[in-house]
Amino acid sequence: MHILVIGGAGYIGSHVVKELLQHGVQVTVFDDMSTGQNENLFPQAAFIKGDILDVSALEAVMNGVDGVVHLAAKKAVGESMEHPEKYAVNNITGTLNILNVMAKCGVKNFVFSSSAAVYGMPQYVPVDEKHPTEPINFYGFTKLEIERFLPWYGNLKGINWIALRYFNAVGYDADGDVKGLEKNPQNLLPIVMETAVGIRQGMKIFGNDYDTEDGTCVRDYIHVSDLASAHWLALDYLSKGGSSQSLNLGTGKGISVWEMVKATERLSGQKVNYDFSERRAGDPSLLVAASDTANAVLGWKPVHSDLDNIIRTTWAMYQK
């Protein structure tokens, strides 16, 4: 099997590449290196630097591949609300370019990195795939918009697809084979880590008056190596004629911001300076996934996502 991994030099993409290589897949990485990193490239995978807005570059790499994993997206929620145009062009136009080139070249199997952001404010938890999709930020809108195109491209162009709705991606490869630290991280755990190593003087915990056990927000943190395994399983499933659908990827277990900070202090031996500040707009108090469908359809189960392993594998990277 020869798979084109678009965005394969990024944080999640590089873990996906490692997983595919371990299953004997021939991998070509296509990445514009805007956030991808050279240290994340594996010598066993071919690498082409290119932009998903460049249709001829996509055509040049598409011939002869059996499937595409697409993770090349802009993903900063705040930025998406300030510069929706960037997100429209990159996440929507760019993905449509990929689908159109796949259709032209007869490539049938597509695994799309989607997000829990398609759901918006949870109306119930755990959130399953039947939960209403009402994104509250433009990033989530772009992901949902592509999910709405996919059944059409399935029916009209014969593209089989799985959209993987990631909850909160965290952690690093336990073997240290992915070497690039995410640049300019915007998410909780890297911010906690940067505070623990002293890159930041302190951090803010956004709200401690939520209706949760310790008052801070609860999220479903899923280890990136568990996300990676789902991509392999999805490709394998599609290659055997599996049916197109969207699947949640989470653990079903919630961890609070406070627990994340305290676990980092415990496992790193470093103090994390934090202040409680105002709630951040748009944050639900509790968001956890029901991933029973991914388990039933793909046989997927998270095995790397316990809190200690999440912290240990991340801390190991920040110590370097």
Positions touching ligand UDP (CB under 6 A) are 168, 187-188, 191, 203-206, 217, 219, 257, 280, 283
According to DSSP, the residues that pair with 256 across neighbouring strands are 218
Q: Return the residue nearest ligand UDP (CB atom).
A: 217
Instruction: Assess whether 221 carries a catalytic annotation.
Output: no
Does residue 247 contact residue 298 with C-beta atoms inside 8 Å? yes
Nearer residue to ligand UDP within complex by CB, 53 or 199: 199
Euclidean distance between CA atoms 181 and 172, whole angstroms: 9
Residue with tokens 């399953």: 128
CA atoms within 13 A on the CB side of 135: 20
Residue with tokens 């912290």: 311
Nearer residue to ligand UDP within complex by CB, 67 or 252: 252
CB of 183 to ligand UDP, least distance (A): 16
> Residue 93: which residues within 8 A CB-CB, separation 6 or more?
53
CB of 190 to ligand UDP, least distance (A): 8
CB of 261 to ligand UDP, least distance (A): 9
User: Catalytic one among 87, 139, 153, 166?
Assistant: 139
CB of 287 to ligand UDP, least distance (A): 6
Residue with tokens 């996300």: 227
> Residue 39: which residues within 8 A CB-CB, separation 6 or more?
178, 179, 180
CB of 199 to ligand UDP, least distance (A): 13
Give the β-pairing of 67-70 and 2-6.
Answer: parallel
Nearer residue to ligand UDP within complex by CB, 2 or 280: 280
- The amino acid at 309: N
Distances in whole angstroms, Cα of residue 86 to Cα of each of 54, 89, 98, 145: 15, 5, 17, 15
Closest-CA residue to 139 (of 68, 187, 77, 90):
77
CB of 219 to ligand UDP, least distance (A): 5
Nearer residue to ligand UDP within complex by CB, 191 or 310: 191
Nearer residue to ligand UDP within complex by CB, 6 or 203: 203
Structure tokens at 246: 């969207």
Euclidean distance between CA atoms 65 and 47, whole angstroms: 14
Helices (H) and strands (E) in the chain, counts: 11, 14
The helix (H) or strand (E) run that includes residue 195 is helix 188-197
Nearer residue to ligand UDP within complex by CB, 65 or 257: 257
Which residues are part of the catalytic machinery? 139
